[in-house]
Amino acid sequence: MPEQHRPTFTRALLALNGGSSDAAVVRLVGELARPTRAALIGVHVVEIDWTLPLDSDVAGASEDAQRILDVAEGVAEESKQSLETVLLQARDVGAAIVDEAIERGVDLVVVGLPYRKRFGGDFAIGRTIPYVLKNAPCAVWVVRDPMPEEAS
């Protein structure tokens, strides 16, 4: 990508969902961050059910949550990038991502979107991405997984 067309940012929050898009998000943003040495922060949010106290140690006990962060760190290391990882637990994933973006003063939030359809065949975007798009105080990039072969 020519230097004059390369997007610039200084701090990016990468919302990691444990899906197939995580590696693509880390590689893409890592590559674009390299020339400016932008800081990359990988965040995974464990959603806490309303029946549990918010301070329940659900995230700390979750092997899946730690694996998601470890995989993202591994992808960043392969690309020779530095990635700070953060594990959060919250009632709502979108609100936690936006709050973390504000708290850390990032100028870019990147979210991955798996390609999936609902039971009627409509493309499903979920509720987290619309929330982040509406409420983030900075630029938001959505990285959608490719359409599966059987869907095209």
Q: What is the mean pLDDT of residues 146-150?
A: 75
- 3-state DSSP call for residue 113? strand
Residue 147's domain comprises 3-151
Residue 88's CATH number: 3.40.50.620
Instruction: Report the alpha-carbon distance of residue 109 to residue 11 in Å, rounded.
Output: 9
Cα pseudo-dihedral 125, 101, 90, 74, rounded to 10: 80
pTM of this structure = 0.86
pLDDT at 106 over 60: yes
The number of folded domains in the chain is 1
State the pLDDT at residue 119: 65
Instruction: Report the alpha-carbon distance of residue 24 to residue 99 in Å, rounded.
Output: 24
* Element spanning 78, H or E: helix 63-78
